[in-house]
Amino acid sequence: LMTVEESPHWHQMLQQYLTPFPGSITSVRADRVVTTRDGDPVVHYDIDHKRSWDFVYVDGPSNRVEDLSPELKKRAAELDSGLRLPNVDVELMWANDVWPKMIVIDGRRSTVSRLMLKSQGRYDVFLKSSYVTLARGELPDYELHHTVMVRRS
């Protein structure tokens, strides 16, 4: 198991919790990279995207837009009304022919939308329940579920 943390503070805190598992869990501190792909502002970790994984949980790095140029902020607003950048770590893995068996994504709508478009139909997608209720015009329960993508056999 490997975890990736952007924050030096949280990375240091995590080290304390990993001591009972020597050699089982690796924690890496990696910088946040903001760039563009296909003309869209995106975010990812500065990590090796060629390493193969069966399971990937996407909950970072920070997807804030405060430090973007006005042009990229405008484009981010067009992509996601919450002004959050999509995470492309999984997309960068796919570009290196790494197709995890399962991908779990926290509440990052822009990441879910982008991965659904870029997955080449290789995954079954089980949307976070609040996305479904919002589409129906119902009030979402923000405590329920993450989006899950399962690679098709």
Calculate mean pLDDT across residues 93-97. Answer: 96
Q: Phi-psi region for residue 105, left (φ > 0), alpha (ψ -120 to 50) or beta?
A: beta
> How confident is the prediction for the chain on average, in pLDDT?
84
Within 10 Å of residue 130's Cβ, how many Cβ atoms?
19
Calculate mean pLDDT across residues 44-51. Answer: 95
Residue 152 vs residue 18, higher pLDDT:
152
